[in-house]
Structure 1
Amino acid sequence: MVDTNDLSTTVLKARIALLATAIGGPDYSSNLDPPPYKLGDDCLACLKDLKRWFRLVDENQNRWDVAIAAAEYRILQDDLIPILIDWENKCSLAHKLNKDSHNKEYHENIALLCVQLMVIMTCPQTLTDQSTARQVAVYSELKKRQLEYKRNILLTERGKVLKAIVRLASKVIKIDKLDRTPRDNVVLRLIINLFRNVVAIEPGELNITKKKQISTKGINSIDTLPAGVSMDDISLNTVIAAFQRNKVLALVLTLASSMSVEFEQDFINTPLMELMFYLTKDIPPESLVGSGKRQESNNDGDQVSSTGAALLNLLDKENNLKKNVIKNTSTRHSRFGALLSIQTPDAGRLTVSGGGQNLLDDSAALKKLDSRKKWNKRSVQHRDDIVAEGLPNSLLNSGAKSGFSLDSTMIKFVHFIDDFIDSSFNALLYSVTNQYTGDQDQMTTLEQTEYLLFFSWFVKYHREKCVKDLAADIGCVDSALQETSFILVSTILRTGYESKNWAAVHAGMIAFNELLLLVRSIKDPYNSDEVEFIIEKLFSDDRIQLLANLPKTAFRYSLQYMKSCVELIHTVLETLEQYTKDNSLTVTKKTKSTKRNTITEEQVTSLMDSQGIGRDEALDLLNPSFRKIKFDFMKVLKKFCVESIIDTYINYLQRFRELNDTEIKKAIYFLHRVFVQASEQSILFRLDLIMLLKDMLAPDGISKKSRVRKHIEQFSNYFLYKLKKRLKSSPSWHIGLLFPLLYGSEVGYFQKYGEVKPHKGNTYYAAPPSRFKNIEDQEQLPESVLKDMKCGILVSTLIDDGKEELLLNLVSHMQLALDHFKSWLTVNLQHERETENLPDELFRIENFDGPNPLIFDKDYRALLSLIGYSLPLNIEEQCKLPGSVEIDFLQDSLELVKKHLATPFQTPNGLPSSSYLVRPKSTVSALNAEDDGWQGDDDYDYDEPGIVPDGQQLFVTDDDAYFEGLEKGMGDKLSGKDVDKGIAKSKKPKAKTKKTRKQKDNYSLPLHDIGEKPEKIKQRKDILSKDFISDSEEEEGDINPLFFENEMYMRWLLDKYRGQLPEERYALFGKFSAERIANNGSLQNDYSALFGGPVPDLEVLRNSETTSDSPDKTLISLSRRVAAEFGKASEEQEHQSTHETDLSDSEVSMDDIPANTSNTGAGSSPSTKRPEIDPSSLEDDNGGEYANLSRKKRRVVLADDEDDD
């Protein structure tokens, strides 16, 4: 309350009291009851004086003393409202009598001054960082007074004062636009501001500031509703009814629809936008869609007031509490005290008092014990201020979604919203967007949030309406797709994040999400330049990085903030995946200036004449600065696979009781993306996630009737299945679950992938061994039977690939090692040294034609690992059989290999043995990407649109490779080729197998497929985006066929020297290659020392070996390496060819070239440190053929990290 001892306040109140008396009052001399209002003799002057007091004290001195004094003397209720109502009655009567009222201009000036004072007195007051202590002291009282103002404006004579205000506006509208004065435009702005203030007045706070923490006892602990005012008096129902009854809504439509034609839009656009925002912010858009038809059939008996609805909610809450009490206390000890005691191993004793649930459930008693424990971890300070929490409840209505309690009011409001969208939304949004774009630096946080939420509400409403009403036109919200709208929304989001303005970030996430959903809802987006612009800009690296940063800190803030963040990330990933899945999205990449080709003046002139273009355009066409590349969705997804984002989703799901099914699905869907699609399993192996899944699937967790529970069970089963495998293969993960992942170290890499981190150097790492898919009833089979089956699968696969020689070498070495071990053990026993370890037996394969199978044959390495061999990790290490292996185990393994060599292995599924194997890629990103044959319950029966389609499955097996093999074999037979068959080719007749499931590609996630089916998606034309600029990938262009021929020479040399090409011949071959390239295939020097005789003929080489149809780039760097040196030596002897290949245009480092070594023997370990060809980088699907990755491997980049100008 105001301090009455303050002299200045007392004097001020006396002045305001005199003005209130002089303005006027009831005319008690009249015989009417109640007595009419009579204006004072100096009414106009008194109103002007009161306006001056507001400006002098409240505005200039940052005090609200005049507002409090005016409220105490009830100037608005007892003076301003009666004056306007009396003026409205007189004007209405004069209009009916068709004559002018007495002193018309004088009374209009008084009415206008009343409106000005009402705008000042109803302006929503907020506490800011600059608020004075005086304002903080009177804030609560002033908010209550404004609620009284709102009630009187809406209910006095059924809101007749609103009709008087509309009459003032209509007098201005009647004036022609060219004849209106600036004062007339200000009057319209003033009237709209008054309507906005009336709607914006609320019991709760409406401020975005940290000042909330000041004097919270005086602000938050007092009842916000004044005496005599109920929520029904100031509810949205009352506002809409009064506005409809007094033609306020019609006035809004008139002004908004003709804003750019009949009115000066700079005066009224922002107030109109704010008015529409406050009218709609508390109503979920989906609750209005189709409500007109639905509500017409409802009975009037179903209509309840907001008070009645609140009572029903309380009754439901009481009923649930009763059920919970009965459930947790239904024992014989419920009404008596109880004491549970647990004795600890150190003779201590833990006690829990109280019966009830503690006696029903052991976990409840233990949880109560844990709750009393204290630990010294530094507590994280909770962010309770509104700025850190995001949008306040009064702006976002996050506390409880309010709606209409009367059907008639809802129907009227829906008609108004539809008319507004059809006639006014595009014009209003376009005008406001242009204004804010020019004055963006001056936008306050409140203006930013009002704009963004207004934008998102109407876009969402119309998008939902278009889904349910096929006749609705999406073009009614076209202005939301304009470039200026997209840029403004994106800019507010970015600047808010950079300045840590979380309220603006929160609103920006909501608006950006709705914008993307609108883009996705358009059936043919490529017919719109605006949509194409948004799609192009969406894929820029800066914007994707911003979107990836948003969820990293979201777990620190409110639940509503996290909801908006989860919704946005879900929509972003779905949008990116939708266009990537069609293979229709290409982006452009900026090329290096150093790679530009030489352009002659004749070429430029010819192109200018033929195309009719300028010189600059011709130069761009001849030497383009951009090139097309394919968009890489997985690279974007990896940006979201970080620990802080996982923290956000886990914190979000921990509040699953406050989330609906759709929100839970989207969060689980993201975890599924990370775990399965991105193969970042280690980042989810966390104890808190395990406990979260346990709580969600507990009896008191998500209801068993909920349709989302099956999704969680599906994910949980697969998650625990993979975790069990990881714990079995790497027991250290029992400790790793308790701690965060290690980053930037070899230990962290090994913890994440279970393999030693590779380093770039002169040695190349071995191929990862093949892995086994899930075998039927694997968990129930004994270890010996399971080992027999795995050994049979591998031996049979190697025989099918014609590698019996490798198996015979293995049997010979195992037999030799077994004899050595037995003899060594016998000698040690004789000398009583049986505890000494046996020596390791080295295993080498001599005279093998091709890459070293100990390094590069994935199936062979898997068999060695199964037997117990220590596998080499790179070409410099050696394969050995450790002396620590059990002799009995080795003997059994030897017998199994011999058995399957002699007897064909019969697979349980009747398919080739290779169908049980997965050949992992050699790249680091794919080390974790394995198809383990998970056979869980994958079927879903959810039919919610946009979430999870029915009948789709998650974890599937791959049998496509088998059928592709059959087609290949049939093609060989038809062409007359002989097809070799191994012993293991004889199989049982194909038995009737279970229905297999088709494996999805890396971008398909059937568990939570949130989009339309691929076959129903229209083919989209390529989109070019110049926002993705990168220089990490060289231009490839057409490769000179001489490179291909040089490769055949290199293979011939490697075969001749059994994979060990000496250093001097290696350098000589580089000179040989460079000379052929420089002279277009001809030679001028003698290279008999290189080939040990004359140079082999190319036709002989082509007939003697099968090579790829396209050239490989293995020797590009090698040729270039000695090109400069060779050029100096031959510069004086040779005439340079006019058709010269520019080697610098194709410069690629040896570390980046995937080698094509189909028949090379690069498995050897050279003693020198020269670059080595790496066959381990090849993806071998059949264990015997190495594919040419120069045609397959593509590096897709999104940004230009280091552009060379």
Structure 2
Amino acid sequence: MADREVIEISDEESEASPDYDRRAIFEPVVRRVVDALGGYEGGHYRLGDEATGCLKDLKKLWRKDDTDDERTVARIFWETRVFMNDLVPILLETAGKGLVEDKRAIYCADLMTAMTWPIDMAEELKELDDEIDKGTDYTQLLQSHLYYKAALLKPGVIEALFGIMLPPLAKLPHERSERDGQVINVVLHLIRNLAFIKDLPANIHLSSDQAELSSMQSRLIRTLSETHTLSLLLTIAANSSNDRLLNNWNTLVLEIFYLLFRGVKPASLAVSQKKQPAENLKRLLAVEAQNRRNVARTASSRHSHFGTTISVQLNPKKKPHPSNDGNDADSEPAKASGSKSQQLVLHRQQALTKTSGSIIDMTKQQKTKRGKTLDELSREENLSLEARTVLQDLAKDFIEGCFNPFLASLLKDIRSERAKISEKDNLRLLFVTKWFLDFFLCTKAKNPGPDDTSSCSYGLVAEVLEREWIIWVLKRMRGAVDEKPKMWTELQAGIDCLAQLLLLVDGMTSSQGVDSALKDAAELLQQQLIYNGEVLDLALESLRSYKEGTQSLAYLDSSVYLAYSLLRMLERWGKAQGQEMYVRRKTAKARKRAKAKAAKEKEDAVPDVEDIEEESEDEEIVHETLFTFEAFQEKFAQADITQTLLTYLARYKDFSSSENMKRVVNLMHRQAVRAKAEGLYFKVSTLDLFKTILADQHSFPREQTYKDLLNLINYVLRQFFKALAENPFHAVEAFFPKNRGNWKQFSSWKPEPKATSRKGAAAEESKFPPDVEVKKGYSWSDQLGIAIAALVEAKQEGLIDWVKEILTLVIGMRQRIVEDTDNKGDDDDADDDPTPKLDGPSVEAMAKFTDYTVPCVSDEQAQAVTRNPHLKLLLRLSKFYVAEESKLVYRSINGQS
């Protein structure tokens, strides 16, 4: 079809009559263009004479869907099967036979990219017109993408697409045109689209065609590896910081890696893939055996061949409910009335030995139990062994040659706010970084050894130790928390990335054979993270802010993992460091600034430059507090954190490994035992959970982690019943929350006296003992005599002599100042009148008086000054001021001794 025969459709008529039938207009046009593309003759596809023009027309028709919520043209394309019957054969007839620069092949790739473009269901539903309730169904479009992906995975298709990219890449940088970059960009986006399309869930009841649609991701990974497409992606990632052309596609490569690795756990790729089938079989057999034992514990015995039927009458003294002749408790209990009796029928053998209430609760739990699904960041793909092997090699090659330059180039583009950077790129970068760090640490754990001889050297991932990277991660996490509504998914990715970073730093500082420069950088970063204090606050806030139903289960697991990793690192760091550490705390003067801002808005005045500078200075003011691991562990004992940990523990049957149980038991142990906050667990709901766990203890694996759980539960229960025996009213308090420090009165926690640490000496109390005063009615001389008598009675005459010596020294110094100042110029009259002319010191002489600081000479004097109340009384009466650090300052009130 020639260009002059292309049918252009104007939108003017559509605007005038919005009720026109788009399908009736576009369907005949699309079918005529598709028929003109070509067809099969003798088993071979033959292109039409105007195939190039037809491909252009199809692309123009496709753009008509930009303003159509129903995607009418896309549905017509799917019904005509133009993708499988025409576009793929044309690509194979051109680029598949070596004609990689043929325009028809490039047009086919462009149209394929448009037809497989990802459908964001959330955005599509938001953009629907509320006034027109058409009930748009995207099921057909999503299904078409599955078949498009299957068509592109036919032999030779991906290889032909890869061949289209080779001529532009083979050109020298100064010879490349803008069109060359566009060709590569189109093919890379097509690969991204294929990785985005999700397979159908695996199901043994599906047909052969449907089963093929559930394993396409594995075929795609193998095909990309066989056609060297993955090698091209690694090349782009490794040189994105050097080559300007390759830098344009670093975000696209990031998204492809995100789509390929998001459904695979790093730990599963860090081990030998040849042993994985046997390990998976062993794991499944263990799960099956465990389920069989659980069923056997509650199953009916062989003697109940004829079943069990028991009628239960609730409130038998009341009249029976008129509409309740006999309700089946295993099907649907009838609604009970406050003034009517209710009759239930139980069909369980356990009803013979257990209470009817427990059987009813068991039935309700089975009906209302709904398994929560994990979010997209933790979705696991069902990949084949060959595909996993390919991803394992890809991950190793990326760590060895691409990790540092790839992250550096992306972070540089993000900080420069390039136009190609989108908000989702931040999330993808956090996830990809977390994934590869986790993979690196798992591989390092499987292959221990000196860092300089190991293939997994810490220098391969040193980019995450840079200051700019840490600042960016914390900034994204703060932004996710401050956003309304909060961006929980991005916050979860930041928490995962931060947890892996802490594990990496902890491993570098504790392992042997690490390069001295990297180890020093890791120790410095560790100190800066603790000093900054923001990481500590984020770990606590992520656990406090969890609300069941608001965040995903993956977010809960990530928050628990971060807190577990942080506390372990802090504990190990605290033991290794023998010196004190301070944490920076920001001083927010929000109230003052808010009042000033409100006053200025009320007056409609323009703020002065001085006010703005003063406000900015207030925001930068910080203060430092002494950090100790024990104090932080006590701060970890909070009611909201306990509730989060109990929510996590309640899912103990869904734990995939004992590592999950180990983390939550460790955190609960730190609260109940280390911080002595067992009162946080004195709640009815918590005790009921403990009862359920103790009832299922026979089904637990024989591992130390589960033994620690039972020991912790028994410890909490012993403390609860011990407190209950001392005060029976604690049973009433168990129905109320233990927030705002209310748990302290039920726990063994006791406030410790504040202490100051001295070098080479034990910690001592920094506060002085209470002062001693003489009763009113005594003169100054009498009070002085009483203080001296108390010291003499205590056989501490040496302290009295010490005070007298100080007084004599100070009096002599001040007399000399008075003589030098007031008697100056009166030497001629000294013989005539030897007595001073003034009644007391002059104002000029008194101005020269300064406070006299007397350091303690001996340890006995230092102890007496701070702890002897009678000596303090004597010093006050002698006009001395007792200061901290055992120093005495003489203060004269009137300038006379």
TM-score for both structures, normalised by structure 1: 0.54
CA distance in 1, matches of 2:699, 2:210: 40
1:949-974 CA distance string (max 9 Å, x none): xxxxxxxxxxxxxxxxxxxxxxxxxx
Shift of 1:656: 0.9
In the alignment, is residue 741 of structure 1 matched against residue 732 of structure 2? no
Alignment partner, residue 81 of structure 1: 88
On the 8 A contact 1:151/1:229 being kept in 2, the answer is no
CA gap 1:465/1:319 in 2 versus in 1, 3 angstroms: closer
- Secondary structure of the residue that 1:330 maps to in structure 2? coil
Shift of 1:490: 1.8
- Secondary structure of the residue that 2:137 maps to in structure 1? helix
CA distance in 2, matches of 1:135, 1:253: 45
Shift of 1:458: 0.6
Q: Which has the higher contact order (CA 8 A, sep 6+)?
A: 1
- Secondary structure of the residue that 1:333 maps to in structure 2? coil
Alignment partner, residue 144 of structure 1: 143
CA distance in 2, matches of 1:251, 1:439: 26
1:512 to 491, 498, 508: 498
2:725 to 707, 728, 745: 728
In the alignment, is residue 367 of structure 1 matched against residue 375 of structure 2? no
CA distance in 2, matches of 1:174, 1:513: 42
- Secondary structure of the residue that 2:46 maps to in structure 1? strand
2:681 to 679, 684, 690: 684
1:336 to 291, 303, 307: 307
Amino acid at match of 2:148: Y
On the 8 A contact 2:508/2:519 being kept in 1, the answer is no
On the 8 A contact 1:1088/1:1095 being kept in 2, the answer is no
Alignment partner, residue 110 of structure 2: 116
Amino acid at match of 1:49: D
Alignment partner, residue 186 of structure 2: 190
Where does the alignment leave 5 or more consecutive residues of structure 1 unmatched? 92-100, 206-221, 375-379, 593-624, 756-770, 772-917, 927-1032, 1038-1043, 1069-1086, 1110-1128, 1144-1153, 1165-1172, 1174-1187, 1192-1205
The 5 A counterparts of 1:266-665 are 266-291=247-272, 320=291, 324=295, 327-330=298-301, 332-339=303-310, 341=312, 353-359=345-351, 361-362=353-354, 365-370=356-361, 392-393=375-376, 395-397=377-379, 401-402=380-381, 404-406=383-385, 408-439=386-417, 446-469=424-447, 470=449, 471=454, 472-499=456-483, 500-523=486-509, 527-529=519-521, 532-533=524-525, 535-556=527-548, 557-583=551-577, 584=579, 586-587=581-582, 630-659=626-655, 660-665=657-662
CA gap 1:440/1:456 in 2 versus in 1, 3 angstroms: farther
Shift of 1:666: 1.2
In the alignment, is residue 180 of structure 1 matched against residue 188 of structure 2? no
Alignment partner, residue 663 of structure 2: 666
CA distance in 2, matches of 1:139, 1:224: 24
Alignment partner, residue 58 of structure 2: 50
The 5 A counterparts of 1:1027-1106 are 1060-1062=773-775, 1088-1092=781-785, 1104=797
On the 8 A contact 2:258/2:428 being kept in 1, the answer is yes
Alignment partner, residue 1002 of structure 1: none
- Secondary structure of the residue that 2:211 maps to in structure 1? coil
Alignment partner, residue 128 of structure 2: 132
On the 8 A contact 2:539/2:559 being kept in 1, the answer is no
On the 8 A contact 1:341/1:351 being kept in 2, the answer is yes
2:227 to 246, 252, 264: 246
Amino acid at match of 1:329: S
On the 8 A contact 2:308/2:347 being kept in 1, the answer is yes
Alignment partner, residue 712 of structure 1: 709
CA distance in 2, matches of 1:636, 1:440: 41
Alignment partner, residue 14 of structure 1: 28
- Secondary structure of the residue that 2:249 maps to in structure 1? helix
The 5 A counterparts of 1:247-266 are 247-266=228-247
CA gap 1:293/1:280 in 2 versus in 1, 3 angstroms: same
CA gap 1:431/1:350 in 2 versus in 1, 3 angstroms: same
CA gap 1:444/1:652 in 2 versus in 1, 3 angstroms: farther
Alignment partner, residue 1125 of structure 1: none
Shift of 1:664: 1.5
Identify the structure with the greater helix proportion: 2
Amino acid at match of 1:511: C
Shift of 1:357: 3.9
CA gap 1:53/1:228 in 2 versus in 1, 3 angstroms: same
1:197-241 CA distance string (max 9 Å, x none): 111101479xxxxxxxxxxxxxxxx99999934256644321221
Shift of 1:1103: 5.8
- Secondary structure of the residue that 1:362 maps to in structure 2? coil
- Secondary structure of the residue that 1:353 maps to in structure 2? strand
Total equivalences in the alignment: 726
CA distance in 2, matches of 1:110, 1:674: 68
Amino acid at match of 1:725: K
On the 8 A contact 2:375/2:552 being kept in 1, the answer is no
The 5 A counterparts of 1:767-782 are none
On the 8 A contact 2:96/2:159 being kept in 1, the answer is no
TM-score for both structures, normalised by structure 2: 0.71
Shift of 1:679: 2.2
- Secondary structure of the residue that 1:587 maps to in structure 2? strand
Alignment partner, residue 1132 of structure 1: 843
Amino acid at match of 1:25: G
Shift of 1:367: 1.8
On the 8 A contact 1:333/1:355 being kept in 2, the answer is no
CA gap 1:673/1:641 in 2 versus in 1, 3 angstroms: same
Shift of 1:15: 2.0
On the 8 A contact 1:480/1:486 being kept in 2, the answer is yes
On the 8 A contact 1:445/1:504 being kept in 2, the answer is no
- Secondary structure of the residue that 1:522 maps to in structure 2? helix
Q: What is the RMSD computed on CA atoms of the aligned residues?
A: 4.8
Where does the alignment leave 5 or more consecutive residues of structure 2 unmatched? 1-18, 320-340, 588-620, 760-765, 803-839, 855-862, 874-881, 887-897
On the 8 A contact 2:69/2:128 being kept in 1, the answer is yes
1:459-490 CA distance string (max 9 Å, x none): 11011111222312121112222223222222
- Secondary structure of the residue that 2:161 maps to in structure 1? helix
1:884-939 CA distance string (max 9 Å, x none): xxxxxxxxxxxxxxxxxxxxxxxxxxxxxxxxxx9x6665x99xxxxxxxxxxxxx
1:497-520 CA distance string (max 9 Å, x none): 222122222222222211221221
CA gap 1:742/1:709 in 2 versus in 1, 3 angstroms: closer
Shift of 1:669: 1.5
Shift of 1:255: 2.2
On the 8 A contact 1:188/1:268 being kept in 2, the answer is no
In the alignment, is residue 40 of structure 1 matched against residue 36 of structure 2? no
Alignment partner, residue 804 of structure 1: none
CA distance in 1, matches of 2:255, 2:725: 61
Shift of 1:1106: 9.4
Amino acid at match of 1:392: D
CA gap 1:15/1:575 in 2 versus in 1, 3 angstroms: farther
CA distance in 2, matches of 1:585, 1:83: 73
CA gap 1:587/1:186 in 2 versus in 1, 3 angstroms: farther
1:1179-1202 CA distance string (max 9 Å, x none): xxxxxxxxx9979xxxxxxxxxxx
On the 8 A contact 1:337/1:353 being kept in 2, the answer is no
1:604-640 CA distance string (max 9 Å, x none): xxxxxxxxxxxxxxxxxxxxx9997642334433443
- Secondary structure of the residue that 1:230 maps to in structure 2? helix
Amino acid at match of 1:473: S
In the alignment, is residue 68 of structure 1 matched against residue 103 of structure 2? no
Shift of 1:329: 0.8
